[in-house]
């Protein structure tokens, strides 16, 4: 799964740790999602979308091999 979390974080000028604190996960979780090593739950994806004030589809997209 491809994601634009790093881009969205830059727009809001927030660190991985800052985002993690806002949505109540660890910084390591945010890092793993950004690197594509972890696929977030639906609930976590929705929390991120709410924080970034956008749709889940604006942050996450499926790649051909997903």
61 in helix, strand or coil?
strand
pLDDT in tens, 10-24: 999 999 999 999 999
Q: Examine the pLDDT at 29 and tell me if it is beyond 80.
A: yes
Contacts of 45 (CB under 8 A, 6+ apart): 56, 59, 60
- pTM summary value: 0.90
Q: Examine the pLDDT at 65 and tell me if it is beyond 80.
A: no
Angle between helices 16-23 and 27-34 (to 10 degrees): 110
How many of the other CB atoms lie within 10 Å of CB of 31? 16
What ranges do the domains of the chain cover? 2-57
Residue 60 backbone phi and psi in degrees, to 5: -115, 140
CATH superfamily of the domain spanning 2-57: lambda repressor-like DNA-binding domains (1.10.260.40)
């Amino acid at each position: 799964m491809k994601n634009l979390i790093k881009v969205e974080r830059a727009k809001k000028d927030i660190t991985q740790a800052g985002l993690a604190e806002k949505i109540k996960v660890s910084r390591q979780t945010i890092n793993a999602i950004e690197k594509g090593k972890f696929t977030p739950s639906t609930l976590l994806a929705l929390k991120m979308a709410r924080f970034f004030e956008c749709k889940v589809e604006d942050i996450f997209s499926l790649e051909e091999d997903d």
